[in-house]
A and B are shown apart, each in its own frame.
Chain A
Amino acid sequence: MPAWWAGPGIGLDVRLAMAGVILIVLAVLVAPLPFQEVTPTNQTSSQPQMFEDRMREKGPIEVTVTQAALIENPLDEEVRGYVYMAVPVNCSHQESYLASAPPDTVIQYDDEGNPFLVVELVLGPREVTWVNVTVRVRLKPYVIDWIAERRVWPPLNVTLLYTGRTRYWDTYNLTLRQLARDIAGGEDDPVLVAKSLASWITTHLEYHVRFDRLGSNRAVKAGLAKLYVYGDCTEVADVYVTLSRILGLPARTAYGMMRLKESEDVYWANFTSRDFTTWTGHVWPQVYIPPWGWVDVEMLEGGTPKVGDYSWRHVVYGFESRKFMGSDFLGAFCRTSFGSEPLYLEVKFSPGW
């Protein structure tokens, strides 16, 4: 028996002491691990007191959007054709109203509910004309304070629709699956999953302007010792959506404009024969988190990733969520059936209505 067990002045009955120790050990084994709250099972129906996430909305900010497209008939004969122009959408943090458009303009919606205008034109040989559209937009920037201890996952109808594989979001890619698990595989809170992915991409991004869309399979590249994301906002968004869907969190992309200043500004919105100075087309991901619904994720505004911190800079023109082959409007705000792209596409944002 070691000296500390029965030192001077401390007497023990060994058998009783052993029984006591055994009971204490049993108590420790039966009880949950340390640092965990114990609640009887029959009390599980009452929700414990806890903080809830809260949203702070800013604004609203009213903006007039004036879009002007210069359309050309490249042929030496008269042609009846159509101009297809994307416009800002109505969604949870944006209201849009069509203020003016050419006569007989038709509003159509694609199969994801994104509106676009169809303008019918008859252009003579080599004729060039302007198509002008005005939309009044009410922006509602927001910030969500993520303070809740626990969160729930989306309902079935949302998850079934927004976790599938597409041409640009290959959720079956084994490298991407492993990458997603390495980043946030053990996380069971949807907000922490969303934040982990945004943080990883922000710190593993090699930003390069692309003229094509790589998709997540080609946008994630292997460096000397680690994987990284290569490309621009489209690749960032595509990789984010893919990793998020792999981890089971519904995700999609929003596309539109990112304004550079709040005062009046003019942006060029397509590749044209004219020179242009400022291009602000933008794509960013969204994830579905109850009770808020679609929450914006921004990884290219400032130096830090933002989940649920949605600024006045964003103007949404549409969403891509289920189109297997992708959406053409994600890459172009205006298309024509005349056989040539618009010569020029200008988007002006003016404060107020």
Chain B
Amino acid sequence: MRRSLAFALAIAVLLSLPALPVRGQEMFWIGLNFEVHIKEDGTALVIVREHPFALNGTSLFGDEEILTQLLEEAQINRLYAALMFATSPEYVYAEIVDGPRVSMEDGVLADPLNKGEMIEYEGAVVTTILVNLSTAEFVSDLGGGEYEIRIVDPFTARDPRSWIDVMRISWDPGVEVIEVSWKPARASGPSEQGEDFLLWMNYNEPSAPDVYILRVRLPGLVVGPPSVGEVNVQASRIGNTVRVTLTANESGYAVVRIVGPGEDQSRGVALDPGVPSTIEFWSVAEPLKVEVYMGGGLVAEVPVSSGALTAYDKGKLPEGGPLPAGLLLAGILILLVSMAVGKDTELEKQRDEVELWEIP
């Protein structure tokens, strides 16, 4: 159940100056019934059913303005579906495959006045989202063909008084659910369960799980980070300065790490297509290697090669080095010798010059 309308006005207003009270529009609640169906092929269908009602529990499904608003807002359900399986939509693939549409054949259960009994509201705005579990941040490989799937209530995560009223988790025959748990522990367990489904009836926010956790065997699932574009990495070292240059073929964001004995530094880099991005780290540790992470996964690893015999630091006068110092001394010495030799042969040189002019 989540609030709407006044929500947008009430949120995020923190000021350092005196402010005026705001009169918002009338508030209403939205009953939220979710079904997550895990498929054999490693995807999941998230079916969202929503129904608006007034604070006293009266259905507002007949209110055209509210219904229109609900349909427009339903687009954001793709985002919420993604956030059930990842901290960011970047870390999971999700797309709306059906809806949002108004269905009078569907209904929504909710307990609007927290009386411990669900009321069935006729009609729902239905949206179906396909989620690729193989790219999901909250799906982890436990080994032996087993995976842990964490399904987060994205409404509670944002606003503590919101929750999913009814959560049904179901699965294909080829999917084996080995263990089920939920967080926090004070929340209620499933009120109903069958061979291929679990059903939570969440009468209020405290009794609703924030996270639903399944340990499954899923033959069609191969977990891995989302695919990222190509990135070229070059790393070199000049003394204590490690320079890393990244070039990507598409826009993205990478985290560059230099790692070695006692060393672990990292910095993010915003990547634009075809544009090299260079960053520098200061480190005394060696040997070092550079790791590049994109989309939450390691995508490149290169050793740091030494770039020169000498190292230098900004802001100080040269203190010398074996090769340049030797060259400098030799050059000065030869110049001095040339001056000494030149004095002895000055007259002869002048004669040579005259002769040169005289011979055509």
User: A155 in the interface, Cβ–Cβ < 8 Å?
Assistant: yes
Q: Which residues of B contact A (CB under 8 A)?
A: 8-19, 21-22, 27, 29, 55-56, 79, 83, 87-90, 113-115, 152, 154, 157-161, 184, 204-206, 210, 239-240, 251, 253, 255-257, 259, 264-270, 272, 279-286, 291, 293, 296, 306, 308-321, 323-328, 330-339, 341-346, 349
Please pick, from B210, B293, B312, B349, the residue contacting A160 in the complex, using a CB distance under 8 A.
B293
User: A336 in the interface, Cβ–Cβ < 8 Å?
Assistant: yes
User: A140 in the interface, Cβ–Cβ < 8 Å?
Assistant: no
Minimal beta-carbon separation of B343 from chain A (angstroms): 4
User: A38 in the interface, Cβ–Cβ < 8 Å?
Assistant: yes
What CA separation (Å) do A276 and B18 show in the bound complex? 8
Chain B residues closer than 8 Å to A220, beta-carbon distance? none
What CA separation (Å) do A245 and B269 show in the bound complex? 9
What CA separation (Å) do A40 and B253 show in the bound complex? 36
Known: A20-B331, A279-B19. A41 touches B310 (CB 8 A): yes
Nearest CB in chain B to that of A214: its residue: B12
Chain A residues closer than 8 Å to B152, beta-carbon distance? 111
Contact A13 B341 (CB under 8 A): yes
Please pick, from B22, B184, B267, B334, the residue contacting A159 in the complex, using a CB distance under 8 A.
B267
- A residues 71-95 near B (Cβ < 8 Å) are 74-77, 79-82, 84
Nearest CB in chain B to that of A118: its residue: B206
Known: A27-B327, A325-B79, A339-B55. A159 touches B10 (CB 8 A): no
Contact A44 B13 (CB under 8 A): no
Contact B312 A36 (CB under 8 A): yes
Nearest CB in chain A to that of B18: its residue: A279
Chain B residues closer than 8 Å to A233, beta-carbon distance? 14-16
Contact B286 A159 (CB under 8 A): no
Chain B residues closer than 8 Å to A105, beta-carbon distance? none
User: A98 in the interface, Cβ–Cβ < 8 Å?
Assistant: no
Chain B residues closer than 8 Å to A55, beta-carbon distance? none
Contact B10 A332 (CB under 8 A): yes
User: A331 in the interface, Cβ–Cβ < 8 Å?
Assistant: yes
User: A348 in the interface, Cβ–Cβ < 8 Å?
Assistant: no
Contact B314 A27 (CB under 8 A): no
Chain B residues closer than 8 Å to A134, beta-carbon distance? none
Contact A27 B293 (CB under 8 A): no
A-B contact count (CB 8 A): 341
Contact B14 A330 (CB under 8 A): yes
Nearest CB in chain A to that of B115: its residue: A80
Minimal beta-carbon separation of B315 from chain A (angstroms): 7
Known: A323-B157, A325-B83, A339-B55. A151 touches B282 (CB 8 A): yes
What CA separation (Å) do A39 and B241 show in the bound complex? 12
Please pick, from A11, A110, A150, A211, the residue contacting B9 in the complex, using a CB distance under 8 A.
A211
User: A195 in the interface, Cβ–Cβ < 8 Å?
Assistant: no
Contact A335 B160 (CB under 8 A): yes
User: A153 in the interface, Cβ–Cβ < 8 Å?
Assistant: yes
Selected A-B contacts with CB under 8 Å, 16 pairs: A14-B342, A17-B335, A30-B323, A31-B321, A36-B316, A108-B184, A118-B206, A150-B282, A171-B253, A188-B280, A212-B8, A250-B268, A281-B14, A323-B158, A324-B83, A328-B160
Chain A residues closer than 8 Å to B27, beta-carbon distance? 339-340
Contact A300 B16 (CB under 8 A): yes
What CA separation (Å) do A335 and B203 show in the bound complex? 18
Contact B317 A40 (CB under 8 A): no
Known: A30-B324, A188-B279. A331 touches B268 (CB 8 A): no
- A residues 25-45 near B (Cβ < 8 Å) are 25-28, 30-41, 44-45
Contact B310 A44 (CB under 8 A): no
User: A60 in the interface, Cβ–Cβ < 8 Å?
Assistant: no
Contact A156 B18 (CB under 8 A): no
What CA separation (Å) do A106 and B266 show in the bound complex? 39
Contact B313 A36 (CB under 8 A): yes
Contact A152 B11 (CB under 8 A): no
Contact A330 B88 (CB under 8 A): no
Contact B331 A21 (CB under 8 A): yes
What CA separation (Å) do A250 and B18 show in the bound complex? 32
Chain B residues closer than 8 Å to A302, beta-carbon distance? none
Please pick, from B55, B184, B311, B327, the residue contacting A38 in the complex, using a CB distance under 8 A.
B311
Contact A110 B160 (CB under 8 A): yes
Chain A residues closer than 8 Å to B161, beta-carbon distance? 82, 84, 335-337
What CA separation (Å) do A234 and B114 show in the bound complex? 34
Contact B313 A324 (CB under 8 A): no
Please pick, from A46, A152, A174, the residue contacting B265 in the complex, using a CB distance under 8 A.
A152
Contact A232 B265 (CB under 8 A): no
Q: Digitize A281-298: 1 where CB-to-B-CB distance is under 8 Å, 0 elsewhere.
A: 111000000000000000
Contact B313 A48 (CB under 8 A): yes
Contact B88 A249 (CB under 8 A): no
Contact B14 A40 (CB under 8 A): no
Contact B320 A38 (CB under 8 A): yes
What CA separation (Å) do A80 and B339 show in the bound complex? 104
Known: A12-B342, A233-B16, A271-B21. A27 touches B10 (CB 8 A): no
Contact A322 B316 (CB under 8 A): no
Known: A84-B161, A150-B282, A164-B87. A31 touches B12 (CB 8 A): no
What CA separation (Å) do A37 and B241 show in the bound complex? 13
Chain A residues closer than 8 Å to B338, beta-carbon distance? 12-17, 19-20
Chain A residues closer than 8 Å to B115, beta-carbon distance? 80
Please pick, from A14, A24, A149, A171, the residue contacting B270 in the complex, using a CB distance under 8 A.
A171
Contact B315 A234 (CB under 8 A): no
Chain B residues closer than 8 Å to A280, beta-carbon distance? 16
Known: A44-B284, A271-B22, A339-B29. A20 touches B12 (CB 8 A): no
Chain B residues closer than 8 Å to A274, beta-carbon distance? 21
Known: A159-B267, A188-B279, A248-B269. A16 touches B113 (CB 8 A): no
User: A128 in the interface, Cβ–Cβ < 8 Å?
Assistant: no
What CA separation (Å) do A164 and B55 show in the bound complex? 37
Minimal beta-carbon separation of B210 from chain A (angstroms): 7
What CA separation (Å) do A81 and B3 show in the bound complex? 14
Known: A37-B319, A177-B270, A271-B13. A30 touches B313 (CB 8 A): no
What CA separation (Å) do A139 and B293 show in the bound complex? 38
What CA separation (Å) do A268 and B185 show in the bound complex? 35
Please pick, from A37, A48, A84, A255, the residue contacting B160 in the complex, using a CB distance under 8 A.
A84
Contact A23 B330 (CB under 8 A): yes
Chain A residues closer than 8 Å to B17, beta-carbon distance? 209, 232, 279
